[in-house]
Amino acid sequence: MWFSTVSKAFLGLSILSGVTLAAQLNRALTTTALSVNGRFIVDTSGQRVKLRCLNWAGADKTKIPEGLQYQPVDATALWIFENGFNCVRLTYSMDMALDPTQTVHAAWVQAAGSTAYLPELMDTFSTAVGKNPWLQNASTLEAYSAVISALGDHNVMVIMDNHNSHASWCCSLEDGNGWWDTDAVYNSTNSRYFNTARWLSGLQFMANFSLSHSNVVGISLRNEIRRGENQDVDGTHAAWWDNIPVAAATVHAGNPDALIMIGGVDYFNDFSFLKTKPLNRSEFDNKVVYEYHTYSWGSDAFGDAYVTSSTQTNCTPFNTYLDEKVGYLLEEGKAYTGPVWMGEFGWSQVPQNDTQEEVYKTCLIEWMSNNDMDWSLWALQGSYYFRTKEVDMDETFGILNHNWTNFRYPGFLNKIGKMWITNINVEVLDGRQNLLLP
C-alpha cells in the first residue's frame, strides 16, 4: 500500500465543530490557481492543498443544485465551511450547460413531465423562491452560478462536474448517459444521450463560464464513464483514449488555471490500464488529477469471498484491490504518477445492520487515511426536489438531514477523523520535491 506507514503519524485529532474546526482546517483562499506536483495538489507557492469535499447534486431533472427549498443558499455554503469542508463537487448536466437561459421555473415544469407531479413540484419551487427570492426569474445557469458565488463567499472551492448529458438521476447502463455515441459500437440504451460533439461543446462553454468564478479550481470531464453491452469488448478502451485527451485539451484551453479531473472506466472503478500505457499529460501544464469512485457494491471491490464472510475484518483484500486499480498512481517518480481524488464514496448516514457496508466503511477510511487521500463524500444533500418520480425524496447517504439543517448522523466527523489530517506535506526545493512527514 502506498505510504501505508504514514498513518502511524496520526496522533489523535480532536474533532471539533463549527467555526473552530473550520479555522483549523480551512485556510483563506489567497490563491485558487492549483496545480499538480507529483502525487500532490499544490497552490502557487508550492504548498499542498488537500481537498476535503462534499458532492452537491445539481444534475437531475430540475437542472439546479438541490436544497434551495429548505435553506437560503448562503446558509448552506456557510454550514459547509463551518464544518471544515474546503470544497464542493458541484454536478451539472449538459442539458443545463447547452440551454443556459432556460428559467428555473420552466425547467421545473418540464421536469414534472405530466400534470400528475406538477402541482406538488411547483409548490416546492414556490418554497424555494421564498427561501431564495432571486430564483423567481433566474435561469438555471444563474442558479448554478449563485451557488458557486455563495461558496466562494465562504472560502469554499468548487470542482464543476459534468454528471450527465440528459438531466436525470445517475447512473445505470440504461440511462443513455454512459458511453460516447461515437464509439465503434453504438448502444442506444447506454449512449443515446451521450452525444460526443455536444459534450465537447458543453465542456468548452462551462470552462469559459468558470473564468467568472475564481473559486472554481477544477473541472471534472464526465461522471462514471461506463461501457454497455458490446462496447469496448476488447478492453483496449479505445473510446476513452479517443475522447478523454480531446476533452482535457478543450477544458484546458477554456480555463488554463483549472485542474482537470479525469476518471477511468467501469464507473471510475478502474485505472489499472494506465500502468502500462500512461496518459500523456505534457500539454496540460501539471493540471491532471485522477478521479476514482468506490462504493460497497461497486465492481467486485471486495472480491466474492470477502464480502460473503460476515466475520471478515481483515482489510488486506480491499487494500490490495484499490492498490491495483488506482493506488499505484500515487507512487512517486513514475510516468503515471499523479494525485488521486476520491471523487465519490459514501454510505448510509442512517445506521444499518449491513456487514458489507460496515467492512467497506472501515477499510476505506483506513486506506484513504493511510494514503492521505484527497476526497469528496457523496453526498451533501439530505433530499431532492424531484428524483425518479418522487417529489421531496429523502437521501439516506446525505450528510445533511432531510431539511438541510444539520448532520443526519451526529457522529460523522468523528467517524472519518483521520481523513481530515494532512499527514504528508510537500515542499519544492530547486525544482525537486521534498516530502515533509510529521
| CATH number, domain containing residue 150 | 3.20.20.80
- Identify the CA nearest to 244 among candidates 259, 265, 270, 229: 265
Take residue 327 and report the three cell numbers written for it. Answer: 493506488
Q: Is the pLDDT of residue 318 over 50?
A: yes
Three-state DSSP state, 45: coil
**CB-based burial label for 212 (10 Å; 0-12, 13-18, 19+):** exposed
> Using 50, 70 and 90 to split pLDDT, how confident is the model at 8?
very low
Between strands 390-394 and 383-387, the pairing is antiparallel
Query: Do residues 307 and 356 make contact, with C-beta atoms less than 8 angstroms apart?
Result: yes
Separation between Cα atoms, residue 215 and residue 152, nearest integer Å: 6
Query: Do residues 375 and 341 make contact, with C-beta atoms less than 8 angstroms apart?
Result: yes
Separation between Cα atoms, residue 312 and residue 307, nearest integer Å: 8
> Using 50, 70 and 90 to split pLDDT, how confident is the model at 347?
very high
> Using 50, 70 and 90 to split pLDDT, how confident is the model at 269?
confident
Backbone angles phi, psi at 368, to 5 degrees: -70, -35
Separation between Cα atoms, residue 268 and residue 318, nearest integer Å: 16
Over residues 57-85, the mean pLDDT reads 98
- Identify the CA nearest to 162 among candidates 197, 206, 193, 132: 206
Q: Is the pTM of this model over 0.85?
A: yes
> Using 50, 70 and 90 to split pLDDT, how confident is the model at 25?
low
Domain that holds residue 184: 4-436
Is the bond preceding residue 171 a cis peptide, omega within 30 degrees? yes
Question: What total of structural domains would you count in the chain?
Answer: 1
> Using 50, 70 and 90 to split pLDDT, how confident is the model at 139?
very high
> Using 50, 70 and 90 to split pLDDT, how confident is the model at 218?
very high
Q: Which residue has the higher pLDDT, 185 or 25?
A: 185
- Of the candidate ranges 32-46, 214-228, 310-324, the one whose mean pLDDT is the lowest: 310-324
Rg (CA), the chain: 21
- Identify the CA nearest to 344 among candidates 171, 156, 93, 95: 171
Over residues 318-328, the mean pLDDT reads 92
Q: Which residue has the higher pLDDT, 285 or 33?
A: 33
- Identify the CA nearest to 35 among candidates 26, 48, 25: 48
Separation between Cα atoms, residue 121 and residue 113, nearest integer Å: 11
Q: Is the pLDDT of residue 7 over 90?
A: no
pLDDT score at 27: 53
Separation between Cα atoms, residue 335 and residue 224, nearest integer Å: 24
CB atoms within 10 A of CB 197: 9
Separation between Cα atoms, residue 170 and residue 351, nearest integer Å: 24
Over residues 296-313, the mean pLDDT reads 54
Q: Is the pLDDT of residue 290 over 80?
A: yes
- Identify the CA nearest to 420 among candidates 359, 379, 373, 363: 373
- Identify the CA nearest to 82 among candidates 150, 130, 144, 19: 19
pLDDT score at 49: 96
Separation between Cα atoms, residue 258 and residue 102, nearest integer Å: 27
- Identify the CA nearest to 255 among candidates 291, 204, 290: 204
Q: Which residue has the higher pLDDT, 310 or 320?
A: 320
> Using 50, 70 and 90 to split pLDDT, how confident is the model at 438?
very low
- Identify the CA nearest to 132 among candidates 184, 76, 77, 71: 71
Q: Is the pLDDT of residue 115 over 80?
A: no
Buried b / exposed e over 150-162, threshold 16 CB at 10 Å, is bbbebbbbbbbbb
